Structure 1
Amino acid sequence: MNLFKIAYKSLRANPLTTLLNIILIAFGVGIITILLLASDQIGQKLDNNSKDIDLVVGAKGSPLQLILSSIFYIDFPTGNIPLKDAEALERNPLVKAAVPLALGDNYNGYRIVGTDSGFVRLYALKLVAGRFWKSDFEVNIGDDVARSQHLKVGDRFFGAHGLTGNGDIHRNHAYIVCGILSPQGNVTDNLVLTNVASVWRMHETKEEHVDGKPEPYENGEREITSLLIQYRSPMSVILFPRMVNQSTSMQAASPALESAHLFSLIGIGVDTLQWFAVLIMAISAVSVFISLYNSLKERKYDLAIMRTMGASKIKLFLIIIFEGVLLTVIGAVIGLVVGHLTLELIGRYQDSTQAKLSGNVFLVRETYLIGVGFGIGLLASIIPAIQAYQSNISKILAKN
């Protein structure tokens, strides 16, 4: 006697009820799957992108906005800071290294970042083709930029003013791709990197000639967007941010603190949705219990006949258990698949190129959801199974 086959045929006998229970389980597991994948990827992006960056210095404003714009490139900068003030900070004995950033343009939504060789060292960037930039308007592009925009070494393109959109294209200078970065698994995959002078020259409003070379100025003084700081010693953690915030016109923001704050804000919504998913799965457990309980009433005669044909009490018990477990495990597997597909669709239609989510990621924790489905099926079917085990054959047959 194949118990699984009997359980499967029993579920097929009530297709609408079976389908409803599977949908409930799949919906709850799907939501939890999306939350697990999204929170894990967001956490990894926060860690990978802010790795080895101790502090970000920029214009006064929101510290979180400064971190989002200068490390994750998903917000507008708080403003610009004078180059001479930034250079003074670079010379501070508390600073080990300082990497300048000059933002303001994009190419089809990918941000163009003016920086220096310190950025290459900070993220340990490597090339799959070409070389690193040397001259103005030479760029290195991230792996995602190269693939999505179909760019190769030697290609030219025009940047557009602003961090999104192509409304104001700078046609006075074309950027030249001189190198393509290897995949890094962080924000650099979505960036276009060049030197700071290229950004200045693209936005110059007047020129002043020094030693025969044009020097671009913005409002009479050269500016950058922010500085990425690495500390020289643990003492810098205490002294340097306070010095910047109290003694200069700039602000200092800690990536670790602001990322934790951001994740805590995200966590509120994640927790709410998780409880919603748990509620759905609890409802599905009740639904499975009710359907098995009602099914047992209708099948008492069939089960009694099975007993007369040699089926033991334990086999009847296991048939009911298998029905509940089979129902919920199928729902859990479908939920996992739907969760991954849904997140992949969400990622493909995201506007931001810097915070894309993917459904092509599998976590060990997801296997626990199959166990949860198994547990729900076992819990929901235990009472109907006990009743099947304790059924009185003679009374049931006498009534029929």
Structure 2
Amino acid sequence: MKHLNAFTLSLKSLRHKPLSTAVNLILMAVGVAMMTFVLSASQQLEEKALRDARGIDLVVGAKGSPLQLILSSIYHIDIPTGNIPLAAQATLQQNRLVKKVIPLALGDSFQGFRIVGTTPDYIAHYDGTLAQGKMFDAPMQVVLGAQAAARTGLATGSRFVGSHGLSGSGDGHGDAPFTVAGVLKPTGTVLDRLALTSVESVWHVHEVAHGIDPEDKEEKAAMDEERELTSLLVQYASPLAAAMLPRAVNSQPELQAAQPAFESAKLFRMLGVGVDVLRGIAAIMLLSAALSMFVALYSALEERKTDLAVLRTLGAPPRKLLSLLLVEGLLLAFSGAVLGWIAGHAALDILGRIVSDDQNLSLSGWYVASAEAWLLPVALAIGLAAAVLPAVRAYRTDIATTLSH
């Protein structure tokens, strides 16, 4: 039996039972596909969230839900908790515990992309650079993120009017159009899906909406005294600020401090419950695949006992029969794992295309999570474990007893 090849014999054996082989492959593939999908999607979302919050130690806004403040001011996927006095910015900037303060003025959007009143520091914070045009340097000029420009079809020199709210279906501010001054290169951050302008532009839009005459000095002076911002993004100047600044801000009746690291961790814990459930289902599918594979290999062994005994009489040593069953289990596991891995990424890519119209969510089927590295070894271990008992029985095949029946 010099030419006896365990791999070739295993392939022929698997082809001999196409239905059983297909069922085992599908079970293994589904389990691995689900695990692949969950691992890749969850890591992508977590990385995007951490990237958007990097370098922001504190968000100061109106009293309300801290998580809502983080979602609206960092991720721009919720409505703000309210407005705060403009004076809060100057107060924080003068605090020795504060390194930098970036103001945000929110409220309007265009085709679902939020219009954010801020300063060039906000763009620099995310390493934004221009692909065309220039930065906003006058009222009612806008710099578009790469995704916002691509989806809306706007380019340098284009004009548009914002609408109230985030949905893009609110009342339009037709009397206060914006002009696109520039478009940013893709950054892979929240910057890509924003329309950025000066805080003064946001104030001007709402002054026009309320019928305030900018030439009326009395009305202008009254508005200047009541200027507000939506929130402030704060960077600490020293580690001491983490212990002192949030408490100092929260003690003021109009302000609250929300820490992105703390609130993001809370959000991940909330989302983690659903992710853990999906991982659990995938693990059950993998266990089912292992049991199904074990039953199939054991049944095949019972049916082929005579064939295996004949192989022994032809000179096949016991270790050849042992390797035959082990190779079958590994082949099933490897093939199912590869099919499942491909299917998982294909499903993620399809989902990414379906949700591509949602500016707040982007997923790629080409992204490979670091945790996926253990999927193949686990699948092979499952295949090996399922084949061990049948393989040992094959190894102990008694020629005389088997052939006498």
Q: How would you bin the TM-score normalised by the shorter chain?
A: over 0.9
Compute the TM-score of the two structures, normalised by the length of structure 2: 0.92
- Contact in 2 for aligned 1:80/1:224 (Cα 8 Å): yes
Query: What SS class does the counterpart of residue 132 from structure 2 fall into?
Result: strand
Aligned residue in 2 for 1:369: 375
Find the residue that maps to 1:203 and give its secondary structure: helix
Please name the residue that 1:145 is paired with.
148
Q: Aligned match of 1:237 in 226, 233, 242? A: 242
Deviations 1:276-320 (A, max 9, x none): 221221121111001100011111222223333333222221111
* 2:135 paired with 1:132: yes
Contact 1:201–1:216 under 8 Å retained in 2: no
Say if 2:308 is the partner of 1:265: no
User: In structure 1, how many angstroms separate the alpha carbons of the residues matched to 2:206 and 2:145?
Assistant: 23
Give the secondary structure class of the aligned counterpart of 2:143.
Answer: strand
Q: CA, structure 1 residues 162+21, in 2 after alignment: closer, same or farther (shift >3 Å)?
A: same
Deviates more, 1:23-32 or 1:218-227: 218-227
CA 1:38–1:214 in 2, change beyond 3 Å: closer, same or farther?
farther
Q: Deviations over 1:44-81 (max 9, x none)?
A: 12221111111001111000110011001111111111
* Partner Cα distance (1:213, 1:312) in 2: 103
1:252 and 2:268 matched: no
Please tell me the residue identity of whatever aligns with 2:22.
L
Taking only the aligned residue pairs, the percentage that are identical comes to 45
Alpha-carbon displacement from aligned partner over 1:317-352 (angstroms, at most 9, x marks no partner) = 111111111111111111111211222222333364
Q: Deviations over 1:82-108 (max 9, x none)?
A: 223333333333322111111112222
Residues 130-170 of structure 1: CA deviation (Å, up to 9, x unaligned) = 21111222211112223333333223333222111334333
Give the aligned partner of residue 192 of structure 2.
189
Matches within 5 A, 1:1-400: 1-204=4-207, 205-207=210-212, 209=214, 215=220, 221-350=226-355, 352-399=358-405
Q: 1:11 to 1:230 in 2, by over 3 A?
A: same
Cα displacement (A) at 1:193: 0.8
Residue 212 of structure 1 and its aligned partner are, at CA, apart by 6.8
- Is the contact between residue 208 and residue 216 of structure 1 (CA under 8 Å) also seen in structure 2? no
Aligned-partner SS, 1:278: helix
Q: Distance in 2 between matches of 1:142 and 1:214?
A: 34
Whole-Å separation in 1 of the counterparts to 2:326 and 2:34: 26
CA distance change for structure 1 residues 217 and 136 in 2, over 3 Å: closer, same or farther?
farther
Distance 1:217 1:229 in 2: 28
Distance 1:121 1:149 in 2: 23
Q: Tell me how far 1:219 sits from its aligned partner.
A: 11
* TM-superposed deviation, 1:216: 9.6
Show CA shifts across 1:239-263 (max 9, x none): 2211111124111100111111111
Cα distance, 1:214 vs. partner? 8.4
- Provide Cα deviations, 1:106-147, integer angstroms capped at 9, x if missing partner: 222221111112212322221122211112222111122233
Conservation of the 8 A alpha-carbon contact between 1:152 and 1:180: yes
Query: How many angstroms does 1:209 deviate by?
Result: 4.3
CA RMSD of superposed structures (Å): 2.3
Q: Which amino acid aligns with 1:315?
A: K
Between 81-90 and 211-220, the greater mean CA deviation after superposition = 211-220
Within 1, Cα distance between the matches of 2:6 and 2:175? 76
Would you say the 8 A contact 1:97–1:231 is kept in 2? yes
Please give the alpha-carbon distance, in whole angstroms, between the structure 2 residues aligned to 1:345 and 1:169. 34
Unaligned stretches of 5+ in structure 1? none
Name the amino acid aligned to 1:300: K
Instruction: Give the letter aligned to residue 402 of structure 2.
Output: I
The answer (yes or no) to whether the contact 2:63–2:81 under 8 Å persists in 1 is: yes
2: CA distance between counterparts of 1:123 and 1:88?
25
**What is the one-letter code of the residue matched to 1:51?**
R
Distance 1:396 1:188 in 2: 73
Moved more, 324-333 or 374-383: 324-333
Distance 1:248 1:94 in 2: 21
In 2, distance between residues paired with 1:37 and 1:2?
38
Q: Which moved more, 1:113-122 or 1:267-276?
A: 267-276
8 Å contact from structure 1 (residues 103, 199) kept in 2: yes
